[in-house]
Amino acid sequence: MSYQAASVPPGTAGDYLDDVHAGDVVLDNQGRLDCTVWGGILTRLAARKGIAGTVVNGVARDTAVADDLGYPLFARGRRVLDAVLAIRPGEETVLERVTAGATLAQARAPAGYHELQRGNGHD
């Protein structure tokens, strides 16, 4: 799977995961080291869906979540952004909604997740 630029209106890298079935996920972020396309919410959702693992041609964040769950996550590197701390409350809300059965898009919309990311330099 290749990560492409967001559509109009913009989404985020993880919205596709709602359509992925059990099996492998490989993400091509063109080797970029300046932004992440995988983090804790996607790890938790992928593990719950039975996805076998994730390989990122780029960097991932929240890698401790994958370690804690025993979820196979491989990336060129890991990155903790200052903005992560600012959006953490919104992410917790998204995680609660996804765990309750919402899709990522449904869970993110009321939390203002896209605006949180853009407001912290994540276009």
CATH of the domain at 30: 3.50.30.40
Does the pLDDT at position 108 exceed 70? yes
DSSP H stretches of helix in 7-112: 40-49, 63-69, 82-99, 104-111
pLDDT tens string 69-88: 999 999 988 875 555 666 67
| 72 C-beta neighbours (distance < 10 Å), count | 14
Does the pLDDT at position 121 exceed 80? no
Residue 5 in any domain: the answer is no
| Helix (H) or strand (E) run with residue 119 in it | helix 113-119
Residue 3 in any domain: the answer is no
pTM above 0.75, yes or no: no
pLDDT tens string 14-31: 777 777 778 877 777 788
Does the pLDDT at position 93 exceed 80? yes
Residue 7 in any domain: the answer is no
pLDDT tens string 27-74: 777 888 777 788 888 999 999 989 989 998 888 888 889 999 999 999
3's CB contacts (< 8 A; 6+ apart) are 13, 27, 28, 29, 30, 37, 58
pLDDT number for residue 9 = 56
Domains: count for the chain: 1
pLDDT number for residue 73 = 93
**Range(s) of the domain holding residue 89:** 13-119
pLDDT number for residue 81 = 58
